[in-house]
Structure 1
Amino acid sequence: MKKNILSLVVIFYKPEPCHINNVISLSEHYDIVVVDNTPEPERYDFNDKVTLITLNDNVGIAKALNLGIEEVKNRGYQYCLLLDQDSVPSNELIQSLLNFYHDHPCDDIAVVAPCYHDKAMGANAPFIKQHRFKKERIEATGSKPIDASFVISSASLINLSCYDVIGPMNEELFIDHVDIEWGFRANSLNYRVVGLPWLKMEHEIGGEPVIFFGKKFVNHSAIRHYYYLRNVFMLLRLKHIPTYYKLVEVFKLIPRLVIYSTVTNNRLDHFKHMVKGIYHGMIGRFGKLDG
């Protein structure tokens, strides 16, 4: 591989030994920036191909990604692969993402990503393309690239020359909707977000799904439900988020409140966090939740 082509950014939060071993394995092939979001981090025995940024606090996924990407940019790399600590991409997948850029030398492709198989839901997630009056769910099949409105950040390969124009992740969001907001912002500036359905990545969104009237729903912790519902109100404030997408998210607020207050464990805790999230969103209190 040519020097300064590609570096990886891996976000840690209370990593387990398997996550540390994944980084060690990946560092045999790539330079890596690890951003540790753990309040009281451990010491890691990495080789000199791994740069560790220790934050001694949970500053949120958005800021952690921005710090990692900035380090990669300062080192002169052209592309940056973003990874959660749970993601274990094969070398073949990483090279295939990079090769797509080389085979499609366009200045307007901001990010490419594989489709992901949601282990908890037991299905491949579709790519989402937002139209003016319709949200299109595009099945992740076939051998043609799919223009999407956004992709999940983990295992996405960012073109840093485009990133310079689009700007960093929105740190006020802290965690949820971060990749969605950035994707819509890229689209609004006429940059493409591209999904590659022939590339597959195992990924788990949330924990064990909940079932409500026979239908599966992705489940998260109470604090994640706080951020998810609160951040809908941040999206409402942003001009580059399509109006139809905003309306759909607003209409889903009450159903989500009902579902996760009904069929989750610790239902009252979920309810309180979601109500607080809606309240904080309405009054414009964003960033990290205190306490």
Structure 2
Amino acid sequence: MGIAQAQNIGCDAAKKFGAQFLIYFDQDSVVSKQFVQPLKNAFLSLSKLHKVALVAPIFKDEKHGFFYPLIFLNKYGLRRKVVPTGNEVQPIPISIAISSGTFTSVAVMDAVGGMRSDFFIDYVDIEWCLRAGRTGYSLFAIPGVCMLHSIGDRSIPFLKWRLVIHSEWRRYYRIRNGFFMLRLTHVPKILALREVLINVVHQVILLLTQRNKALQLKYFLRGVRDGFGPIDRV
């Protein structure tokens, strides 16, 4: 079972208990007791002015202390990155958010639909956010709420960046789902092409720098092959 199906099961269970709101966490998420209420307050306040899909915290890297950039897409799918300073006050419009720590409602999930279980893990949250945006919803980051987060199993320095290292099977889903995104009408083609190209370059760097080259190549080729295979329609 992937993260998408697990989230859908959790959402269905919450509805059976009569829940109105939902908040998603990873299995290793750690937050304070004061984390949820400011997100709920922001969601309710912003919903008076906008059609809100979700509100999200800002994320700070657990190991290296930097803030993850917030992403906003224009109508062509070109990205504008805003790196929080930690001093912002007003909600910041965004186009995509990682699922951990995001606050939404059951009504929004019913309107937009659940997570794509066929994606299993990578791009599950990004695809949903883009689907919500295409449906007319807005997304916001709430600067007053910060969450520590870590992406990948580890990272290595590469030129001026830190390259995230995932397991081989995670690389498979990232490669495959990047090609899947190219075929979804609500995903801007420029964004999807960018993800495919970055994934390929990332994989080449891994093949050059990591020891398990045969396994890296195996899952990369399998991801490319399956990325051109059947995909369910939303």
- Separation (CA, whole Å) in 2 of partners of 1:68 and 1:177: 19
Equivalences for residues 1-291 of structure 1 within 5 A = 59-106=1-48, 108-131=51-74, 132=76, 134-141=78-85, 142-213=88-159, 215-284=161-230
SS in 2 for 1:91: coil
**Runs of 4+ more than 3 Å apart:** none
What is the distance in 2 between the residues matched to 1:122 and 1:166? 34
Larger Rg: 1
Alpha-carbon shift at residue 282 of structure 1 (Å): 1.6
Bigger helix fraction: 2
Letter in 2 for 1:115: I
Paired letter, 2:79: K
Q: Residue 84 of structure 1: SS of its match in structure 2?
A: coil
Q: Aligned partner of 1:235: which letter?
A: M
Q: CA deviation at 1:214?
A: 5.2
Change in Cα spacing, 1:173 to 1:215, as seen in structure 2 (3 Å) is same
Question: TM-score, structure 1 length as denominator?
Answer: 0.74
Task: State the structure with bigger RCO (CA 8 A, min sep 6), 1 or 2.
Answer: 2
Q: Offset of 1:64 from its aligned partner? A: 0.3
- Give the partner amino acid of 1:145: P
TM-score normalised per structure 2: 0.91
Identity of aligned residues (%): 33
Post-superposition Cα deviations, 1:228-268, rounded to whole Å, max 9, x if no partner, equal 01101111111000121012113223312211212234232
Q: How many residues align?
A: 228
Measured at CA, do residues 121 and 260 of structure 1 come closer, stay the same or move farther in structure 2, by a change above 3 Å? farther
State the shift of 1:102 in Å: 3.0
Deviation of 1:133 after TM superposition, in Å, equals: 5.2
Give the partner amino acid of 1:118: D
Unaligned runs of 5+ in 1: 1-58, 287-291
Q: Letter of the aligned partner of 1:277 in structure 2?
A: G
Q: In structure 2, what is the Cα distance between the partners aligned to 1:124 and 1:174?
A: 27
CA distance in structure 1 between the partners assigned to 2:37 and 2:160 by the alignment: 40
Contact 2:180/2:231, CA 8 A, preserved across alignment: no
CA, structure 1 residues 168+285, in 2 after alignment: closer, same or farther (shift >3 Å)?
closer
Distance 2:17 2:40 in 1: 18
AA aligned to 1:78 is Q
Per the TM alignment, residue 78 of structure 1 is displaced from its structure 2 partner at its CA by: 1.1
Q: Aligned letter for 1:87?
A: S
What code does the residue aligned with 1:134 have? L
CA distance in 2, matches of 1:86, 1:239: 33
Task: Please say if residues 31 and 147 of structure 2, whose CA atoms lie closer than 8 Å, have aligned partners that are also in contact.
Answer: yes
Q: Which amino acid aligns with 2:89?
A: S
Contact (CA 8 Å) 1:120, 1:207: kept in 2 or not? no
1:227 CA displacement: 0.5
Determine if contact 1:62/1:170 at 8 Å carries over to the other structure.
yes
